[in-house]
Copies of this chain bind each other. A is one copy, B any other.
Amino acid sequence: MRTLAAEIARHTGEEVELSGWVHRIRDLGKVSFVILRDRSGEAQIVLDRKPDFTHESVITVKGLVAPSEKAPGGVEVRAAEITVLAAADPQLPIPVNQDPAKLSLEALLDNRYISLRIPKLRRIFELQAAILRHFADFLRSEGFTEIKTSKLIGTGTEGGTGLFQVEYFDTKVYLAQSPQFYKQAMIASGMERVFEIGDAYRAEKHETPRHLNEYVSLDVEMAFIESEGDLMDLERRILAYVFAKLAEQNGEILELWGASVPTAEEVGRIPLVSHDEAREIVSERLGRKVFEINPEGERVLCDWAKERHGIEAAFINAYPRKMRPFYTYPLDSKTMSFDLLFRGLEVTTGGRRINEYPMLLDALPRFGLTLEGLGDYPTIFKYGCPPHGGFAIGLERLTQKILGLANVKETSLFPRDRHRIRP
């Protein structure tokens, strides 16, 4: 019966069996200290001999748990029997028991199978798993249904550029950039409130610390809204819930990274500025006129929000029509759309969508689109589609900003960029 490393203090004076990786070896000749690492944490093992195994080998240790002032957690295991389950090559490509900040991101990603053993890096993904859980739990509590839609689409309906092409038997299809059309279809089908956690693909040649060519999109769509205001309210509730759960259950990971999450009260204070106002604020702070909010502008606006509202985040709405996709619901020359910036980075784009067929027909030529080019999409609006809208949160970007990481690639287990298709 296996005991986890984090639980041995409860077994002081008892015989236990531990299994895990050899994290660190201190060989003092007649006695050796070994740190064993498992999914729960670390435990100190004492041997009355030289160890005959290498760093990172997988071992099973049987022994007595005894108090030890110097051991982490105040106890150690006096090894009576050690079995090597899987020996590790002594030439590790990168060290596992040192500060990962000393290694380049390239080295960490090239050696992903080993670098994820570094506890501090692995725990990024424990936090990410918690985000996935709480996002879904919250939406279910508000009557949303989880959907899974196809990522293979027959037509490049969002413009055609930026799509990866797939050889599909005797024809070509594309990897979906988002589940946008499908989640709208589910609104019209009567589910009314849906969410999807799925992969999204962007064939864009950028190489920046904020882009991935494949990422996980947390998509939400909701019927019977009046404006983008209902969507921003929903996102505030989602974030307040997720942040509260992380603070409550994952405080140790946040602390490890020197990070913290906003409180519900702070989320409530996230300011809303129109795109015009945002441009003015950024222009004034940069001392030159800006016409759109680029990455620098996103940082400037979050600094402004931190100073004025005590939270490093801002909603921007009322984007001009030409800056948003054709399906965005217009309001005069603007749109019922919004972005959320969080800690200097856009983490969400959303808005109310056009739901009336005549309005869609009017919008298409403005964007150089035709009904035919949109495939099945217009059908959604021909047979009764309620007012609706939604948004998408980038899972990796949210993880990055919660933990304060420099590059979004750190938050993807196996990131894909223009040059990286392995491991």
Contacts and interface: CB of A to CB of B under 8 A. Distances in A.
Interface of A: 2, 19-22, 37-39, 56-58, 85-89, 92, 112-114, 116-117, 119, 122, 125-126, 128-129, 132-133, 136, 140, 143, 145-155, 164-169, 171, 173, 175, 182, 185-186, 188-193, 197-199, 203, 205, 214, 216, 224, 355-356, 375-376, 379-387, 395, 412-416, 418, 421-423
Nearest to A384: B88
Contacts of A113: 185, 188-189, 376, 379-380, 383
A415 B148 CA distance: 11
Contact of A199 (B21, B39, B166, B199): B199
B145 A216 contact: no
A122 B190 contact: yes
Given A122-B191, A224-B2, A422-B375, A149 B114 contact: no
5 contacts: A86-B386, A148-B412, A150-B214, A150-B416, A153-B421
Given A113-B379, A376-B113, A384-B57, A164 B168 contact: yes
A198 B171 CA distance: 24
A355 B86 contact: yes
A203 B166 CA distance: 11
A39 B132 CA distance: 25
Contacts of A414: 149-150, 182
A190 B116 contact: yes
A182 B119 CA distance: 18
Given A88-B383, A384-B87, A413-B186, A192 B39 contact: yes
Given A126-B145, A133-B140, A199-B199, 11 more contacts: A39-B190, A39-B193, A88-B383, A88-B384, A113-B380, A117-B188, A133-B136, A147-B413, A152-B214, A168-B203, A182-B413
Nearest to A418: B169
A311 to B, nearest CB: 28
Contacts of A166: 164-167, 175
Contacts of A385: 58, 86
4 nearest CB pairs, A to B: A376-B423, A116-B189, A88-B384, A150-B414
A385 to B, nearest CB: 5
B151 A214 contact: yes
A234 to B, nearest CB: 15
A421 B168 contact: yes
B423 A152 contact: no
A327 to B, nearest CB: 15
Contacts of A148: 128, 132, 199, 216, 395, 412-413
A352 to B, nearest CB: 13
A20 B385 CA distance: 10
A132 to B, nearest CB: 5
A37 B191 CA distance: 11
A192 B38 contact: yes
Nearest to A150: B414
A97 to B, nearest CB: 12
Contact of A191 (B39, B186, B224): B39
Contacts of A375: 422-423
B164 A164 contact: no
Contacts of A122: 189-191
A147 to B, nearest CB: 6
